Amino acid sequence: MLMFFLSACHSDELIEERSFLMGTMVSVSVAESEKSSSDVHLAIKASIQEMQRVEGVFSTQLENSVQAFNQSDVNQWQTLDPEVSDLLVQAVRVMNQTHQAFHPMLGQLKEMWNFQPDAHKVPLDTDILQYMQSLQDAHLEQKGTQWRRSDAVIQLDFGAIAKGYAIDRAIETLQNHGIANAVVNAGGDIRLIGQRFERAWRIGIKHPRKADQVLGWMALKGDLSLVTSGDYERFFLIAEKRYHHILDVRTGYPATQSQSVTVIATNATLADAWSTALFVLGFKGLKSVHIPADLDYLIVDQQGKKTMSLGMQKLFHSQ
Ligand code: AMP
Ligand code: MG
């Protein structure tokens, strides 16, 4: 009997745990036949805890340095958590690379639109115009981990990048526990390492208009991230018009170019930021930006037409 129990944990079965985090269902799946299931569960729990910690550090709804900054007096230096400061540097870089299609300071515009259930509203055009003028004139300055804003219109919002960052930290936590084969999946945003025993990981991409159907799938191995931004994730309809949560600060309205954009990159932080940026830019806006060389994309435009980078074409299989 004892022998049986000792060897029972060595099998080609995935070990998986789920938790509701960052507003979505997160799963951590590990494929390690040489490790005991208790060691694997320990590693998974640590990675989930790490994502919870990251959520606490970046959420605008919790007492943290992001909230303190957003409530601070204008023109006053404010110290951000070093982790927040570092991610803000990366976020500002993507903002500049994408002509503000990705914009990590649009918290106030998000509040004006309010995508909370039961509180839907379309802001007045005059309010949107005033907002855009104020944002254009506003400045953000950095001195180490200290930051200051010239106008309260600047409200930090890490909603389009922090989930990717949390996924990266979760993978790092698994690796620190000796795990080399795993997938972290936060509501379809994924980073994978290694393989699923002798096989590749099979990853589906959600169809932007057919719930519970996939647009296609890929067989992936190694260290890769795959993140999707879609207009179907959080939206409301008024007179059949779709108002969704990915906003374009250059118009003040939800972005209109795409139904969904999937990005593959080595880390989930960049994949997350760029999936949002390319969603806003759309196929037409691609030419105006320099896309990092190691990044691949699949854009589904408003008509449902797909455009893929060369690398994506090699990986993508239609349904
Ligand atoms: P994602 O699902 O990664 O595309 O991120 C969407 C979330 O990021 C929204 O819920 C907002 O919190 C925030 N957001 C919306 N539009 C933008 C944008 N253009 N740039 C940066 N963050 C945005
Ligand atoms: Mg994103």
109 in contact with ligand 1, CB cutoff 6 A: no
pLDDT band at 10 (very low <50, low <70, confident <90, very high): low
Q: What mean pLDDT is predicted for residues 45-73? A: 97
**205-263 confidence digits (pLDDT tens):** 999 999 889 999 999 999 999 999 998 888 888 777 888 899 999 999 999 999 999 99
Ligand 2 centre to CA of 276 (Å) is: 4
55 in contact with ligand 1, CB cutoff 6 A: no
107 in contact with ligand 1, CB cutoff 6 A: no
| Closest approach atom of ligand 1 to CA 247 | 16
Ligand 1 centre to CA of 85 (Å) is: 18
DSSP one-letter string for 118-166:
T---PPPHHHHHHHHHHHHH--EEEETTEEEESSTT-B---TTTHHHHH
**261-315 confidence digits (pLDDT tens):** 999 999 999 999 999 999 999 999 999 999 999 999 999 999 999 999 999 999 9
Per-residue pLDDT, 118: 73
Per-residue pLDDT, 2: 42
Ligand 2 centre to CA of 233 (Å) is: 12
Q: Which ligand is nearest to the CA of 265?
A: 2
pLDDT band at 114 (very low <50, low <70, confident <90, very high): confident
160 in contact with ligand 1, CB cutoff 6 A: yes
Write down the pTM of the prediction: 0.95
**175-202 confidence digits (pLDDT tens):** 999 999 999 999 999 999 999 999 999 9
Ligand 1 centre to CA of 197 (Å) is: 35
Choice from 58, 245, 272, 299 to test ligand 1 binding pocket (greatest atom count within 8 A of CB) = 245
Would the pLDDT of 167 be above 90? Answer: yes
244 in contact with ligand 1, CB cutoff 6 A: no
165 in contact with ligand 1, CB cutoff 6 A: no
Percent of the chain with pLDDT over 90: 88
Per-residue pLDDT, 234: 81
Ligand 1 centre to CA of 279 (Å) is: 10
pLDDT band at 4 (very low <50, low <70, confident <90, very high): very low
Q: How many angstroms separate the Cα of 81 from the Cα of each of 69, 74, 85, 201?
A: 10, 18, 6, 35
